[in-house]
């Protein structure tokens, strides 16, 4: 198995500004825009964002607006912040986005429990999800869960439908692609692929599988790949598609399902601890390939522990 990873650019963009006291409404509007851009406030002053062309454009434009309003603003390129190391900044950005995703999850749970699923509410949730994704600079592992819940709400699958059966020889020696920051469903799916489907699998990470047309997508929520279907997580989909009937795998499928979808369908709680470990590693800026490797080791241990 081999893995490669993409990443966010290095360095940071910092906006420092002040407005006259009489410009209270303008100050509130600036704060709203900074929140919309995903900027974090620093205790010593200023708001910080990762250094990307888009974040630089946002802050330069906002600085120009502040100056036109009679205030002062400076946009600084910062290599590091001495009292807030990069890994701490990464964690803070991940925590902020995780809270956003958890709020959407709460709203989607209510929708899933209700018989009526108003299109207006789903449209608003989808719009908000897209907005959060745009400022999820370090790929929170919770994003895929919201996407999975949205897929269940927007595209319910009848229990009578069955996925097509796949021949394993067609998927030998392949490159498999999934999203960055793999969580429990993706690391367990990668483990399942190498253990039962493609022992020579290579894994890459990207948010856009179209850039890798020869790779096999899994848990990317793109047509033509393997992902959540109906009430099944990706691990369960792979088990059904490739007819993996190992009893220990079926137990792990239930564990992964309950940890990933959090619906308590099987009453299996073993995976919750594994999931929290993966989330913790993701917040500590562990690379995607290392996160996948560590996660697969956890699943191998879980498999060996099954009776």
Q: Convert the pLDDT of each residue in 105-158 to its tens digit.
A: 898 888 877 766 666 788 889 889 999 999 999 888 888 788 878 877 776 654
Give the per-residue pLDDT at 200: 95
Q: In what order do the strands lie in the sheet with 47-50?
A: 40-41, 47-50, 12-18, 72-78
- Which one has a higher pLDDT value, 264 or 297? 297
Give the per-residue pLDDT at 3: 40
**Report field, pTM of the whole predicted structure over 0.85:** no
Q: How far apart are CA 217 and CA 205, in angstroms?
A: 10
Each domain of the chain, given as residue ranges in start order, spans 8-78, 86-154, 168-305
The SS3 of residue 292 is helix
User: Region 236-254: what's the mean pLDDT?
Assistant: 94
Give the per-residue pLDDT at 154: 72
Q: How far apart are CA 38 and CA 55, in angstroms?
A: 9
Q: How far apart are CA 258 and CA 159, in angstroms?
A: 18
How high does pLDDT run on average in the chain? 87
Residue 195 is given by DSSP the state: I
Give the per-residue pLDDT at 155: 64
Q: What is the pLDDT of residues 22-70, one digit of tens each?
A: 888 888 999 999 999 999 999 888 999 999 989 999 999 999 999 998 9
Which of 102-106, 180-184, 281-285, 289-293 is least confident? Answer: 281-285
- Which one has a higher pLDDT value, 48 or 261? 48
CATH class of 8-78: alpha beta
Contact between residue 239 and residue 192 where contact means Cβ atoms under 8 Å apart: yes
- Which one has a higher pLDDT value, 222 or 164? 222
CA 101, 38, 55, 6 dihedral sign is negative
User: Region 210-221: what's the mean pLDDT?
Assistant: 90
């Amino acid at each position: 198995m081999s893995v490669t990873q993409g990443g966010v650019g290095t360095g940071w963009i910092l906006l420092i500004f002040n407005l006259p006291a009489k410009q209270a409404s303008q100050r509130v509007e600036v704060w709203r825009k900074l929140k919309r851009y995903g900027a974090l406030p620093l205790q010593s002053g200023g708001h910080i964002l990762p250094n990307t062309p888009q974040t630089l454009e946002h802050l330069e434009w906002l600085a120009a607006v502040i100056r036109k309003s009679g205030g002062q603003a400076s946009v600084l390129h910062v290599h590091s912040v001495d009292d807030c190391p990069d890994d701490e900044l990464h964690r803070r950005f991940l925590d902020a986005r995780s809270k956003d995703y958890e709020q959407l999850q709460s709203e989607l749970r209510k929708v899933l429990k209700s018989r009526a699923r108003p299109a207006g509410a789903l449209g608003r949730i989808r719009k908000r999800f897209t907005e959060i994704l745009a400022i999820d600079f370090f790929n929170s592992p919770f994003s895929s869960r919201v996407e999975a819940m949205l897929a269940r709400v927007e595209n319910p699958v009848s229990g009578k439908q069955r996925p097509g059966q796949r021949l394993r020889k067609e998927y030998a020696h392949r490159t498999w692609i999934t999203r960055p920051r793999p969580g429990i469903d993706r690391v367990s799916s990668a483990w399942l692929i190498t253990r039962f489907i493609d022992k020579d699998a290579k894994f890459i990470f990207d948010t856009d599988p179209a850039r890798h047309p020869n790779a096999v997508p899994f848990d990317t929520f793109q047509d033509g790949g393997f992902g959540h279907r109906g009430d099944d997580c990706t691990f369960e989909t792979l088990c059904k598609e490739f007819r993996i009937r190992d009893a220990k795998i079926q137990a792990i499928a239930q564990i992964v399902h309950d940890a990933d979808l959090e619906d308590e369908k099987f009453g299996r709680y073993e995976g919750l601890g594994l999931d929290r470990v993966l989330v913790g590693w993701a917040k500590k800026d562990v690379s995607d390939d290392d996160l996948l490797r560590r996660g697969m080791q956890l699943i191998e241990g879980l498999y060996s522990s099954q009776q």
